[in-house]
Amino acid sequence: QVQLVESGGGLVQAGGSLRLSCAASGRTFSSYSVGWFRQAPEKEREFVAFISWRDGQPYYADSVKGRFTFSRDNAKNTVYLQMNSLMPEDTAVYYCAAATTWRNLAKEYSYSYWGQGTQVTVSS
């Protein structure tokens, strides 16, 4: 079992930056793959980025590539999503999720544990 708590959301102007954190408690976080997803109002939840436990490399959705950076600090049991050059279309609730698998990490069904989400609002 692992519990996830996101923080760092807020209101920012277009072009600004935010850093989201996801702190884990429970089992050793380094043995999990971790993903970020987001859900905008009246839209399906969508994949943002993941890091697999297998290779430790971040992978990004095309919509955020070059603007977002996903990192993890296993010593602190925390992952971070640095979001730069934010745009109004990035407005959403952002969720952190953990998975024991290293496959299909862009899919929600691969994840067993989810945080409660943190709101990010980007004004134009």
Q: Determine the pLDDT at residue 1.
A: 83
Quote the tokens at residue 109: 């069904």
- The burial of 38, by beta-carbon neighbours within 10 Å (0-12 exposed, 13-18 middle, 19 or more buried), is given as buried
Rounded to whole angstroms, what are the CA distances from 61 to 31, 35, 37, 43, 54? Answer: 23, 11, 10, 16, 19
**Average pLDDT for 4-12:** 97
pLDDT value, residue 52: 94
pLDDT at position 95 over 90: yes
pLDDT band at 30 (very low <50, low <70, confident <90, very high): confident
> CA dihedral defined by 20, 106, 98, 5, rounded to 10 degrees?
30
